[in-house]
Every structure is written in C-alpha cells, then in structure tokens.
C-alpha cells in the first residue's frame, strides 16, 4: 500500500504542473518516460515539475516527456491516468464567456504551437520511425522477462541443477519468441489504422507449423521464416487490403467479405512472396552483423559506440529496434546492443569529469550527483540533457568514451567471443542479467564489464582534458545558478536551454 500511495502521490504532484486534467489529451509511457499529449504547452510549470523528487528530467518533443526511470514510470502511469480521468469527469463544462481569449486567438495560438512542433519533429522519416517504435516498444517488457528467464535457465543447465525444472523454464523463455510475429502483426495493424486482430491473424500464418508443407520459389517454407520483418510486411499489407475493402464492399456484406478478403489476399501474398523475401532479408541482417563484428571488430565497435548518442538525439536509433529483434529471433541474442550500450558508459565518465572540472558550480554538481545512479543503470537522459549536451564539448567527449568502450567489445567479437543481449531496452548495469554469448556466461560478463570500465575511463579522460576550453571553464566554473534549461535532471536549473537551443553557445565548442 505504501508503494501505491507513493506512485499516486507522484502522479498527483505532476498533474497540476502540466496544466491539470483538462490540459491532457493523451497518456502513454515507454521504458523510462511518461509521454503526455497536451492541449496548451504554455500551462506547464517546467521548473516546479523538475523539482518533483521522482522526476529525473523532462524532454519536449512531439509529446511532453517526463523522465521517471524504468519501473517507476510503469507504476506511476496508471495512477496518472486514473487522476486524469477523474479530473476530466468532474470538471465543469467550460464557459466560453469566461475565457480571456477569443476563439480566433485560441485557434491562432494552437496553430502556431502545432506548426512549431511539426517543423521540429514531424518529418516523414521520423514519423515512420515512430510508428516502428510504437510497434516494438510494447513488446520490450516480455522480451526482458523472457530473456532473464532464458539466462537463468542457461545457468541452471550449465551447472546441471534442477533438471526437472529447466524444461519448464525453457518453455517460458521460448514461448513468447515463438509467437512474437503474431504480436508484431497485431501492433502493426493497430498502428497503421487497421483491425489489430486481422493483422495478428495474417502474421500467425508465418509461425504456423503447416507452412512446412508449402513450396515457394522452388523451396519448402519453414515455420517462422521471415520472422518479425515478414509479420510487419504482412500486417501492413493486410491494413491496405482492409481499407480497400471498406471503401468498395457494400455495408450489408462488409462484416463477412472484408475480413475474409483481408486474410485471404494478404495470406496468399505472405505465403508465396513475403515469407521468402523477408526470410532472405532477415538472414542477410544476421550475416551482415556477424561479418561486421568478425571483420570490423574494434573499428566497427568504435563507430557504433561513438555515434549511438547522436542517433538517439536525432531519434534515428528507433530504426535499430527491428534489427535487434530479428537478431534475437535468429541467434537468441543481439550482438549490437552491448556495443551500443557503451555510449551510456562514455556519458557517465564524462559526467564524472564535469563534476571534478566544475568544483564551484553547485547546480551542475547536484544535477550530476542525482543523475549518476540512473546513468549507471542505463538511464542516460538526465545526464545527456541536463549536463553534457548543453555544455557542448562534453557531449562530444562522451561520444569518444562510448567509441572506446564499443571498440573494446568489438575487438573481442573479432576474436570470436560474441557478447550479446537476449532482450532490448535495458543498458548499463541493468543489462548484466540479459547477457549471453558463445563462450560461457563468465567470459561474456567479463568482456561487457571491461567495456563499461573502458567507456567510463575514456569518457572521463577525454572530458577532463579536452572537454573544456578556457572560456567554457570561466563561464561555468562559478558559484551561481545558470539559466534554466528546457531539459534537466532533478534539482536546480542546469547549464543550458536543452538540446534544441542552448541559452549560450559555449566558447570553443
């Protein structure tokens, strides 16, 4: 009960600071953030919101995003939704005469805000990537849970403990992955505006054992061939077929004809085309990932680890989600995630260096102290948006730390010691329970831990010696509160105005 009260108290503290229930148009959450659709952004009290103890930071994108951290966000969101619903149901009908603005002024204000957001965030490519993320992100909790069970089962099998229990654990760990195509199909149809269950029905064809009796392109099909990419394509096709049917089929026959034609047409194309093509693409992704790390090794790890933070800032990292899922489906783990996780290690090392380089700036030091524990666990937003990015150079040197950590892990991949993760989502220390590889759990953990240490050290050294110009030190190594930032961690205002527009351009960046 105490935990429920704490989560409800957090939700109750947040709600009035975002303009109350009437200002909330939508509520969703991802792994770490409460994402709110707001009618009027000007009603949000940013500074007061940042001071809420559970709030690690805020990010303004197409939605207003409040960083609460993994675990916490999943518990606070339902309480927040209840409060919003209660507030909206009890709110009196608005009195048009009481508003200080005319309808034209309100419309102009809303149009201006919407246009500004679209200009920043609504490029076609970003919108497409958001759709892809919306399909796969809801699957992450199941991937994590099943991944941890798979790791536990592997440990018990290697130790030859509980032989009567390990088959049951194997079933629990593998059941979701055996049917993941169905869930992808369901979410895809939902995201693209179709009937979700029809998307799931078409995607289920891919994992049906009976497809082994079917030939396509002169080859026998295999159950699961094409995997999540095939399910994605099949469900998108089903949505377009369904929409076509809704336009042309008479209403009296719609309930019978539309679902039948949707499954029939999409199913035939999936069986005799998409499964083969998506299977070849999936195989190529796995082969390329293996080739890249086997031949590129340290160089590939350097590039992947070094450029991951900029990809996150641009929102382009979402394109990697289907690739991770495909690798997990094929090989049991993704070899890319542990390398990309080194970007967070570089960020932590850089933040520690900033802490020591700015001994007089109490504000930044408090921000770092409050955000470091989350940073070690792989939640990097407070450090990125509240420390390194507004400062400029430390963000670049944090990327250098990630590059060195990625190179370390990539080097061992080149030597034949694959380090992978059985799920996506966690990073930093939180990734340890999900690690897997081809040379035993001990070696895998040691390599990943070594990469983190290298990332910490490289990020620290690069930032300490090269992250500050004389002008930057003179500007920020002072005992005063800097300008408020658009995105900060818990605590007083930080160094800049966020990733889009820092208050001042640091000298020498």
DSSP annotation string for 84-139: HHHHHHHSPPP-GGG-SS-HHHHHHHHHHHHHHHHHHH--HHHHHHHHHHHHHGGG
| DSSP run (H or E) holding 307 | helix 298-314
**Tokens matching residue 3:** 């935990």
CB burial of 375-399 (b: ≥16 within 10 Å; e: otherwise) equals: bbbbbbbbbbbbbbbbbbbbbbbbb
Non-local CB neighbours of 276 within 8 Å, separated by 6+ positions: 216, 217, 219, 221, 225, 226
326's torsion region: left (phi>0), alpha (psi -120 to 50) or beta?
A: alpha
pLDDT reported for residue 315: 65
For the chain, the 3-state helix, strand and coil shares in percent, each to the nearest 5, are 70, 5, 25
pTM of the model: 0.71
10 Å CB burial of residue 95 (0-12, 13-18, 19+) is exposed
pLDDT reported for residue 108: 52
pLDDT reported for residue 487: 44
Task: Give, in order, the Cα–Cα distances in Å from 430 to each of 341, 376, 424, 506.
Answer: 10, 8, 11, 33
The dihedral over CA atoms of 405, 411, 417, 419, expressed in degrees to the nearest 10, equals: 30
Q: Under a CB-based contact definition with an 8 Å cutoff, are residues 36 and 55 in contact?
A: no
Q: Under a CB-based contact definition with an 8 Å cutoff, are residues 32 and 70 in contact?
A: yes
Among 440, 225, 211, 201, residue whose Cα is nearest residue 326: 225
Non-local CB neighbours of 354 within 8 Å, separated by 6+ positions: 364, 368, 387, 388, 391, 394, 463, 467
Q: Under a CB-based contact definition with an 8 Å cutoff, are residues 440 and 159 in contact?
A: no
10 Å CB burial of residue 76 (0-12, 13-18, 19+) is buried
Residue 423 bridge partners (DSSP): none
378's torsion region: left (phi>0), alpha (psi -120 to 50) or beta?
A: left
10 Å CB burial of residue 442 (0-12, 13-18, 19+) is exposed
pLDDT reported for residue 122: 59
Among 140, 506, 113, residue whose Cα is nearest residue 318: 140
Catalytic site positions: 30
- 160 half-sphere exposure, CB direction, 13 A CA radius: 0
126: number of Cβ within 10 Å: 17
pLDDT reported for residue 127: 75
The dihedral over CA atoms of 342, 343, 349, 353, expressed in degrees to the nearest 10, equals: 160
Q: Under a CB-based contact definition with an 8 Å cutoff, are residues 363 and 424 in contact?
A: no
Measure the CA–CA gap between 261 and 499, rounded to whole angstroms: 48
pLDDT reported for residue 316: 72
pLDDT reported for residue 196: 94
Which residues of the chain fall short of a pLDDT of 50?
A: 1, 94, 96-99, 101-103, 106-107, 111, 114, 482-509
pLDDT reported for residue 262: 96
Task: Give, in order, the Cα–Cα distances in Å from 174 to each of 140, 315, 419.
Answer: 15, 31, 20
For the chain, report the end-to-end CA distance as a whole number of angstroms: 50
pLDDT reported for residue 46: 86
Sign of CA dihedral 474, 479, 485, 491: positive
Q: Under a CB-based contact definition with an 8 Å cutoff, are residues 385 and 485 in contact?
A: yes
Measure the CA–CA gap between 61 and 206, rounded to whole angstroms: 36
pLDDT reported for residue 117: 52
43: number of Cβ within 10 Å: 14
pLDDT reported for residue 484: 43
Residue with tokens 């990809």: 311
Beta strands of 327-429 (E only): which ranges? 419-421
Question: Nearest 5 degrees, angle CA 26-CA 30-CA 31?
Answer: 155
Measure the CA–CA gap between 385 and 71, rounded to whole angstroms: 21
């Amino acid at each position: 009960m105490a935990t429920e009260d704490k989560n409800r108290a957090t939700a109750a503290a947040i709600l009035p600071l975002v303009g109350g229930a009437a200002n909330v148009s939508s509520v969703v959450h991802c792994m770490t953030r409460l994402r709110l659709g707001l009618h009027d952004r000007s009603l949000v009290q940013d500074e007061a919101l940042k001071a809420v103890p559970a709030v690690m930071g805020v990010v303004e994108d197409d939605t207003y995003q409040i960083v609460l951290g993994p675990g916490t966000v999943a518990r606070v969101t339902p309480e927040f939704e209840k409060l919003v619903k209660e507030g909206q149901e009890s709110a009196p009908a608005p009195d048009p005469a009481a508003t200080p603005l005319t309808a034209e002024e309100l419309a102009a204000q809303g149009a201006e805000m919407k246009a500004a957001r679209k200009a920043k965030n609504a490029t076609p490519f970003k919108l497409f990537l958001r759709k892809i993320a919306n399909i796969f992100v809801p699957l992450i909790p199941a991937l994590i849970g099943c991944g941890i069970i798979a790791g536990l089962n592997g440990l018990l099998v290697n130790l030859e403990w509980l032989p009567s229990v390990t088959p049951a654990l194997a079933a629990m760990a593998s059941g979701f992955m055996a049917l993941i195509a169905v869930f992808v199909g369901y979410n895809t149809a939902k995201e693209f505006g179709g009937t979700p269950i029809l998307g799931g029905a078409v995607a289920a064809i891919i994992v049906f054992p009976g497809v082994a009796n079917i030939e396509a392109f002169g080859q026998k099909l295999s159950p699961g061939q094409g995997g999540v990419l095939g399910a994605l394509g099949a469900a998108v096709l089903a949505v377009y077929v369904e929409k076509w049917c809704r336009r042309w089929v008479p209403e009296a026959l719609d309930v019978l004809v539309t679902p039948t034609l949707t499954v029939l047409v999409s199913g035939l194309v999936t069986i005799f085309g998409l499964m083969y093509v998506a299977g070849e693409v999936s195989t190529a992704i796995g082969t390329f990932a293996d080739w890249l790390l086997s031949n590129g090794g340290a160089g590939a790890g350097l590039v992947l680890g070094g450029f991951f933070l900029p990809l996150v800032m641009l929102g382009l990292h979402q394109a990697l989600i289907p690739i991770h899922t495909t690798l997990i489906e094929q090989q049991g783990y993704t070899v890319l995630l542990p390398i990309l996780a080194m970007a967070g290690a570089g960020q932590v090392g850089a933040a520690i260096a900033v802490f020591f380089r700015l001994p007089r700036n109490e504000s930044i030091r408090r921000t770092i102290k409050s955000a470091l524990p989350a940073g070690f666990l792989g939640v990097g937003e407070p450090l990125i948006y509240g420390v390194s990015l507004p400062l400029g150079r430390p963000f670049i040197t944090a990327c250098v730390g990630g590059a060195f950590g990625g190179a370390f892990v990539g080097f061992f991949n080149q030597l034949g010691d694959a380090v992978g993760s059985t799920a996506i989502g966690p990073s930093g220390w939180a990734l340890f329970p999900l690690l897997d590889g081809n040379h035993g759990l001990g070696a895998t953990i040691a390599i990943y831990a070594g990469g983190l240490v290298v990332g910490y050290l490289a990020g620290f050294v690069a930032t300490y010696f090269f992250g500050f110009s004389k002008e930057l030190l003179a500007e920020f190594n002072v005992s005063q509160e800097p300008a408020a930032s658009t995105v900060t961690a818990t605590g007083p205002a930080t160094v800049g105005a966020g990733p889009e527009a820092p208050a001042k351009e640091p000298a020498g960046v």
